[in-house]
Every structure is written in C-alpha cells, then in structure tokens.
Amino acid sequence: MSRLSPGARRILYALAGTAAVLLVGALLHPGFASWSSLRVMLVVASFTGFVAAGQMLVVLVGGIDLSIPWVLNGAAIVLTTTSLGQTSRAPLAIVLALGVGALVGLGNGVGVAWLGVPAVVMTLGMNGVMQGLTLGLSKGLTCASCGSYAPSPLRGLFSGGLPAQLLLWAGVGVFMTVLLTLTTFGRRVYAVGVNPRAAFLSGVGVRGVTVALYTCSGVFAALAGIALVAYGGQPSLGLGDPYLFESIAAVVVGGVSILGGRGHYLGVIAGSLTLVAVTTFLAAQRVPEYGRLIIYGLVILAILFAYGREKAHD
C-alpha cells in the first residue's frame, strides 16, 4: 500500500466502500447484488455521477457550486417545456437546456474569477436566482406546457439490458479522465488548484480556467436534469434538491480534496456508487426518509474523519 500514491489509495478506499456496502446488502437481502438490482443502482448513480463531475471540477480549484439544484431543475423544465414531448423538437430542447446550464455556470465563473465574489456566495445567490426564475416563469409548474413529457427517444435511454444512459456515463467518465490527465488544460486545473499564485506566475490563465470549470459544472448539472426528466418522464419542483448534497458527498467520498488540486473522477464514480448503494440498502431495510438523512450525514462525517482532515497546525 505504501507504494501507492495517496490519490490512488483514496480511489481504492472508495471502491472498497462500494464493494463493502454491496456485500453487506447481498448477505442481508438475497438479490441485492443481482444484475437487475445493480442495473437500477448504476442508473441512479449515474445522475449523481453527472452532477458530481461538475462539482468535482470546481472543487479541484478550491471552489464549490451550490447552484446545482436549481440549475438541474431549471434545465429539466426547459427541456420538457420546449420539446413538448415531440421527438422533432428534442435536439433543440437539449441544446437549450444545456445552454441554460452553461450560461448560469458562466455567470458563476465570471463572478468568482473576475469579480472576486466568494464561490459560496456567488453560487448560493445564483441558486436563488435560478429558483426564482424557474418557479416564476413556470408559474410554479402550472404553465400550459408544464405538463409535457420528455420526448420518447430520451426516455429510451433507460431501456434495454445495458441502458444507453450507462454508456453516456461511461462517456462522461472517459471525457473527465482524458481532460484531467492527458490535456494541458487538465494540468493547468491541478496547478491552479494547488497554488493559484504560482500558476498565474507560470503563465496559466487562472481566470479563464476557473470560468471554464464553472461553466462545465453548469453544463453537467443541466445534463443531469435532462437525464432525470428523461428517467421520470415529467419534471417536478425540487427535483434537484437532493443533488447538492449528493454531488458534494460523492466528491468527498471519491477522495477529492476540498482544498483543491487533488482527486480523480474514477474516485468520484466510486463515490457515487457507494452513496447509491447505501441509499438502496437503507430502502431495502425499510429505513424511513429521516433515517436516510441521518445515516447519510453520519456516513459523510465518518469519511471526512477518515481522510478529509486538514493538516495539523505546523
């Protein structure tokens, strides 16, 4: 173990966590780890995986995105209200929904990088703005087109033995890994995350990188919104609410340092899977909603104690 880098070790811990939860589940509930059950878990985990991809990118540069819930919800509603359930309008609707996410992310990035607004404040404010806009414009989801469903090709993402949604998630995984490990952009992201001043003095466009990352986070939140509405058929209000916590939790469980500069998407995938496995397990144990919330919090605290601690004072 000592030969592994701390980063690789954290990914292993996250994967071990997933395996452990699955094992316990399988022992207590026959069929917990069957393919049909696993398939559902993977699909549900993919939503967390999408938002966590964006969250991870901003966390890598020491930021945080609290605007995910209503960007996700807004994008989901944009998708159904512009597509009106018609296949021919689906491409336009998807572009629009992703565009909303990109725009909000861009706004967050500009606020944080150029105007010097603390990330917590900027993204929290933006979440409020998106919530107000979404509720107001859709008249509390009572507008004429608000009852529309997602176009059927999108809903097809989830059918079949190996749902296309999972291939999409795999694609996101490849994209994130390639972006962060093989490109100059990825190198710059880690440099900015570890030491922004040194990165700036090394000719890295710190602001540009930051804006790009927040924009990506917005796009990923929108992507999750599209996927969720495709999964459920119709959007609802508060659709995105659980995903703020989920995204941050997946990032933390996946071994990404909240202080920036450290972590890999592979870990985040494992983190998302662990979270969903825990949720599924709790559901199988018939633990009510409140119990899930409490146990979720405790699990995160335990993981933070395991490897989220800041260095001792030196």
Partner 1 sequence: MAPAPPRSGSETFAVRASGVDRAFGGVQALRDASFAARPGEIHALAGENGAGKSTLIKILCGLIKPDQGTVEILGTEVSRVVDPATRRRMGVATAFQELSLLPDLTVAENLLLQAPPRGRLGLVRRGRLAPVAAEVLRHYGVDDIDPRATAADLSVAQRQVVELVRVLAGEPRVVILDEPTAALPDRQVEWLAGHMRRLRDEGSCVIFTSHRWREIEALADQVTVFRNGTRVATRERLSEAEAVTLMSGRSFAGAYPEITTEPTAESALRVTGLHGGRLRGVDLDLRRGEILGVGGLAGQGQRDLFLTLFGAQRAAAGTITVDGRTVTVRSPKDAIRAGVGIAYVPEDRKAEGLFLPLSIRDNIAAATLSRRATAGFVNRRAERLAVTSIVDRLRIGAGRSTSRAADTLSGGNQQKVVMARWLLTDARILLLYDVTRGVDAATKHDIYELVATLAAQGRAILYHSSETEEIAHLCHRVLVLREGRVAAELAGPVGDAERIVAASIKEGQDA
Partner 2 sequence: MRETLRRVSLGYLVLAATAVAYLVVYTSRLGRFPTSFDYLSILNTTLPLVFVAIGQSLVVLTGGIDLSVGGVVSLCVAVTAATASVPWLVVVLALGTACGALNGLVVAYGRIAPILTTLATLSIFMGLALRVLPVPGGSIPPSVRLVLTNPGTPTGLGWLGLAVAGWLVLRRTRFGMRVYAVGSDESSARAVGVPAAAVKLKVYALSGFCSALAAVFYVSTTTAGDANAGTPFILTSIASVVVGGVAFTGGRGSALGAVAGAVALTLVIDILFFAGIDPLYQSLFQGLFLVVAVLLGTVAGLVARRRRSS
Q: Taking CB under 8 A as the rule, which mask of x and - marks residues 131-170 in contact with partner 1?
A: ----------------------------------------
Asked if 254 and 56 count as a contact pair (C-beta separation under 8 A), the reply is: yes
Instruction: Quote the distance between the C-alpha of residue 228 and its chain's center.
Output: 12
The candidate with the shortest Cα–Cα distance to 68, out of 111, 91, 100, 112, is 100
- Read off the amino acid at residue 70: W
> How far is 43 from 13, CA to CA, in rounded Å?
22
Considering the rule CB under 8 A, would residue 188 count as an interface residue with partner 1? yes
Q: Which does 9 bind (CB under 5 to 8 A by kind): partner 2, partner 1, none?
A: none
Asked if 182 touches partner 1 (CB under 8 A), the answer is: yes
* Residues 247-276 close enough to bind partner 1 by CB under 8 A: 261-262
Q: Is 177 in the site for partner 1 (CB under 8 A)?
A: no
d(C-alpha 127, C-alpha 120), whole Å: 10
Residue 140: DSSP 8-state: T
> With the C-alpha atoms ordered 94, 120, 57, 107, is the resulting torsion angle positive or negative?
positive
| Site membership for partner 1, residue 184 (CB under 8 A) | yes
- Per partner kind, with CB cut-offs from 5 to 8 A, the member of partner 1, partner 2, none near residue 144 is none
Cβ-based burial of 116 (10 A; exposed 0-12, middle 13-18, buried ≥19): exposed
Cβ at position 95, least distance to partner 2 in Å:
24
Residue 197 binds to partner 1 (criterion: CB under 8 A) = yes
Partner that binds at residue 145, options partner 2, partner 1, none, CB closer than 5 to 8 Å by kind: none
Residue 170: DSSP 8-state: H
Q: Which of 152, 183, 236, 285 binds partner 1 (CB under 8 A)?
A: 183
Binding site for partner 1 (CB under 8 A): 182-185, 187-188, 190-191, 194-195, 197-205, 261-262, 313-314
